[in-house]
Structure 1
C-alpha cells in the first residue's frame, strides 16, 4: 500500500492564503500533515497485518480440505477399504509436512539455482530472510505441491518462469497464476499413472470389459446431503482446475470455455482408458460414467468381490 503524503504547500491554499504569508495557516497545515502521516503509518501497519494473516489462514483452510478429501474417499469406497483411505489422508499431511520442511521448500523456492531445482534453504536454513518469511513457507507447505515443478514455474529463476531476468521460454515464460499445471496437472497425472499401474479393482470390470457397479458404502460421507452433490462438485472442481493457470491474464468468459473443453477431453480419456478411481478424483469429469444395464446382471452382482 502506497503511503499517504502531503506538504504544507498542498494544504495551505485551503485556508485562502499561502503558508509563506500566514503563520497560523502554515501551523494548521503542518498539523494536518502530521495527522495524515500518522494515519498513513497506521494503515500501512494494518495492511501488513492483514496480508500476513491471510497467508496462514489460507494454509489452515487446506487442512479443512484434507478432512473433506478423507470424507470423500471414505464414502466412495467399500467399507473394508475405509480405514486405508482415512489413514492415507492422515499420513499425507504428516509425511508431507516433514518432507517439505527438510527439502521440499528448498527445492521449490531457493534462488539462485540451476533453473531446474533449488539447492539452498534445506531445513529452512537462513529463513526468514528479506525475501522469504515463515508465513510464505507455511502457505506453500500447506499445499506441498511438487517441489521441482513449482520451481520451474514459480521461482524467480526457474527455466519456465515468466520472471526470469533473461532467456524466457517462448519469449514470455509460462504463466501459471494459481496452479493449473503445478498443482492440478501434476497431481492428476500422478493419480492417473497410479491408477493405470495398479489396475482396476477385482470385479470392477467383467470379462467383456463392461463396467460393474461397486457402490460406496456411505453416501452421507460423500455429499453430506441427499442430492447429487458429487456431480456438481466434480464439475466445479474441473472448471477451477481448467482456469487456474491463466485466471490473472484472461477475461472471465474464458473460464467457461476452458472448463467445457477440459471436461470434454477428460471425460473421453476417462472412458477410453477404463480408468478405475472410486472417488473419481480426476475432477475433469463433469458427470460420472453410468454403467450400462448389462453391467448389473445378477451374475456380476453375485460375485463375492462386489459385495461390501
Structure 2
C-alpha cells in the first residue's frame, strides 16, 4: 500500500510539473502570434498570472474550490477558511484514496487555476492596459474560478444532480471559464488599430511563427499532465487510455483544421494547423478517460473543423482575438463538454442534458462577472492603452524595455 501511494504521488507531482510547463507554451504561443513590440508586455502578464495565481490559490482559492459542502447545502457557495492547513491524514494513504497527498493536491489544482486568466491574456494582447489586466487576474483567479470550480470538482450542485455534470479535466471548468471572459474582454476592449478595414479583417502577422509552433508542442506535452494527472492516481490502464485519447484527438484536430483551411482558403496555413491541435486537445479534455480511441479521433476532428469556422465567424463579428483563444478554448471547450453526452461510457440523453446545464451554468457566472469587472474598470481607470502607445508598442511605454535589445528593423 505504501509503495503504491508513493508511486501515485510521484506521478501526480510529475503531472504538476508538466502543467506548470504549459505556461511556457502559452507564453511562446502568445508572443509568437503577436508583434515584436509587445513581447515584454505579454511575458510580464504571463509571469504575473502564475505567480499571483498560486498565492491567491493558497490564500483563499483552494478552500473556496474544495470547501467540503455540508449536508443539505445548496452546493453553490461555501468557504473552508483561509490558508491550506492539511487535514488529519492529509499526508497518508487515507487521503484521496491513496492517490496523492494534500500538498500535491493543492499544487496540482493551483496550476490549473492560473490557466483561465492566461487564456484571456492572449485574446486581449497588444492593446490592454497592464494594470487593469492585473486587477482582473486577481479577482477572476482568486474568486470567480474557484467558486465556479466548486460547483463540480468541489462537489457542488452540478455534481449533486441525479445525472451529474461531467468534466474530467476542464473543457468547461478551465477552458470555457477562460474563454467566456476572453469573449467579454475582447468585446469591451475593441479591435487593434488596423485589424479591420472597411469592415473586412486584415491579417496582422505575428513576429515569430517558430516560437508559436514551439509553444503548441510544449502545450501538447503539458497536456500529458493536464489530462493524465486528472486521473488523480497512477492507475496504469486509465492513465494510458487518457494519454492515447488525448494524443489522437490532438492529431485529428490538427490534420482536419489544416485540411478544412486548405479547402476553404486554398493555402496551407500553419497557424490554423496549430490551433487545430489545441482545439483537439481542449475538445477531448472533458471526457478523455471515457472515450475509445475512435471516439477521440472523431471529437478531435470535429474540434479541428470548428476552429476554422469559428475563427472566421469571430472575425465577421468584428471581434479581434490575436491568438484564436476564443475559438480554441470557448468553442472547442463547449463542444468537448457536450461530446461527453454523445460518445463514450456516459453517452445518453440524460447525460447530454446535464452537460448542457453545466455549459449554461458556467456561462451564467463567467459572462456577468467578467463583464462587471472589465466594464467598471473601463468606465473608471480605462482598460485600453492610447493610440500612440499601441502604435509604438507596449514594451517601451509600459515597461521601458525591449525584448530584443540589439534588434533593428532596418538591419538584415
If the length of structure 2 is used for normalisation, what is the TM-score?
0.52
- CA shift for structure 1 position 121: 4.1
> Structure 1 residue aligned with 2:36, among 52, 73, 79?
79
2:207 maps to 1:209: no
CA, structure 1 residues 196+179, in 2 after alignment: closer, same or farther (shift >3 Å)? same
Higher RCO structure (Cα 8 Å, ≥6 apart): 2
2:22 maps to 1:61: no
CA, structure 1 residues 232+306, in 2 after alignment: closer, same or farther (shift >3 Å)? farther
> Match of 1:153, SS?
coil
Task: Return the alpha-carbon distance in structure 2 between the equivalents of residues 87 and 105 of structure 1.
Answer: 25
Task: Return the alpha-carbon distance in structure 1 between the equivalents of residues 190 and 11 of structure 2.
Answer: 41
Name the counterpart of 2:112: 143
- CA shift for structure 1 position 105: 0.5
CA, structure 1 residues 128+197, in 2 after alignment: closer, same or farther (shift >3 Å)? farther
- CA shift for structure 1 position 128: 6.1
If the length of structure 1 is used for normalisation, what is the TM-score?
0.69
- CA shift for structure 1 position 262: 3.8
Name the counterpart of 2:288: 247
CA-to-aligned-CA distance 1:195-214 (integer Å, 9 cap, x gap): 122111011111x2111121
> Structure 1 residue aligned with 2:84, among 124, 134, 145?
124
Equivalence map 1:93-104=2 (5 Å): 93-104=50-61
Count of aligned pairs? 238
> Does the Cα contact within 8 Å between 1:195 and 1:275 map onto a contact in 2?
yes
CA, structure 1 residues 218+251, in 2 after alignment: closer, same or farther (shift >3 Å)? closer
Task: Return the alpha-carbon distance in structure 2 between the equivalents of residues 215 and 128 of structure 1.
Answer: 54
> Match of 1:62, SS?
helix
Task: Return the alpha-carbon distance in structure 2 between the equivalents of residues 175 and 141 of structure 1.
Answer: 20
Task: Return the alpha-carbon distance in structure 1 between the equivalents of residues 88 and 56 of structure 2.
Answer: 19
Task: Return the alpha-carbon distance in structure 2 between the equivalents of residues 90 and 70 of structure 1.
Answer: 9
* Residues 99-108 or 267-276, more deviating: 267-276
* Residues 268-277 or 95-104, more deviating: 268-277
- CA shift for structure 1 position 49: 1.0
Name the counterpart of 2:69: 112
CA, structure 1 residues 134+149, in 2 after alignment: closer, same or farther (shift >3 Å)? same
> Match of 2:328, SS?
coil
Task: Return the alpha-carbon distance in structure 2 between the equivalents of residues 52 and 229 of structure 1.
Answer: 38
Could you tell me which runs of 5 or more consecutive residues in structure 2 were left unpaired when the two chains were aligned. Answer: 97-101, 117-144, 216-267, 333-389, 394-408
Task: Return the alpha-carbon distance in structure 2 between the equivalents of residues 136 and 258 of structure 1.
Answer: 29
Task: Return the alpha-carbon distance in structure 1 between the equivalents of residues 34 and 22 of structure 2.
Answer: 19
Structure number, greater radius of gyration:
1
Give the RMSD, CA atoms, in angstroms.
Answer: 2.8
Could you tell me which runs of 5 or more consecutive residues in structure 1 were left unpaired when the two chains were aligned. Answer: 1-43, 287-303
* Residues 112-121 or 181-190, more deviating: 112-121
> Does the Cα contact within 8 Å between 2:311 and 2:324 map onto a contact in 1?
no
Name the counterpart of 1:159: 157
- CA shift for structure 1 position 266: 5.0
> Does the Cα contact within 8 Å between 2:168 and 2:285 map onto a contact in 1?
yes
> Does the Cα contact within 8 Å between 1:108 and 1:117 map onto a contact in 2?
no
> Does the Cα contact within 8 Å between 2:58 and 2:84 map onto a contact in 1?
yes
> Does the Cα contact within 8 Å between 2:186 and 2:319 map onto a contact in 1?
yes
